[in-house]
Chains A and B, each alone.
Chain A
């Protein structure tokens, strides 16, 4: 069966510090991968998605970036965090191909920038 791992679970970082969040998927090949952010009490904002190694599509211009160095690994990064980067970050995966399947979300990282 497929599983998705996301870490860390919580993170408190000072303004201006770098960020690296990691997500890995097991039990499937060539998944579609997604990074979402959720501000407190708000909806799900898509940040990045990827359909293969080295392919990244950005949804929202900001000081975040994403990379996919391996088939089942997705990394969210920032060189300098802003207060507005605080939120609940969720990684998700879906089966590839034209027939759409629902996402499975990771357990999330709660980031607080202070």
Chain B
């Protein structure tokens, strides 16, 4: 089955600096890699995703890179702002006989200090 490892577990950066969160996965059949942001007391929300046919995707200050050979993908946040403070989860799919599911990493607590 799929195993997703996420690092670091906590990350503190100064406002304006960049933040990088890394995840590794085990199933070479995985083809879709989303990232979720969860603010305190709220639901996780999809912020960016990447499919296995591309190596990088950007959306304003957020980017995700994928290395299929090494089975790892990363979230990059540039010019961090206090509102970026949250828990971030990466995920990869596990395909099963009945449907499929996302396997989530353990999460990274990002703190942006102003």
Contacts and interface: CB of A to CB of B under 8 A. Distances in A.
A107 B104 contact: no
B106 interface: yes
A52 B104 CA distance: 23
A103 B98 CA distance: 17
Nearest to B105: A43
A70 interface: no
Interface residues of B, number: 23
A96 B107 contact: no
A7 interface: no
Interface string B88-114: 010001011011111011110000000
Contacts of B46: 102-104
A26 B31 CA distance: 27
From A51, A57, A96, A103, residue with most partner B Cβ within 10 Å: A103
Interface in A74-113: 90, 96, 98-108, 110
A50 B99 CA distance: 8
Interface residues of A, number: 25
Contacts of A90: 43-44
A57 to B, nearest CB: 6
Interface in B36-62: 41-46, 49
Interface of B: 31-32, 34, 41-46, 49, 89, 93, 95-96, 98-102, 104-107
Given A57-B98, A100-B95, A100-B100, 16 more contacts: A32-B99, A34-B101, A43-B105, A44-B44, A44-B104, A51-B99, A90-B43, A96-B99, A98-B95, A100-B31, A102-B32, A102-B34, A103-B34, A103-B44, A103-B46, A104-B46
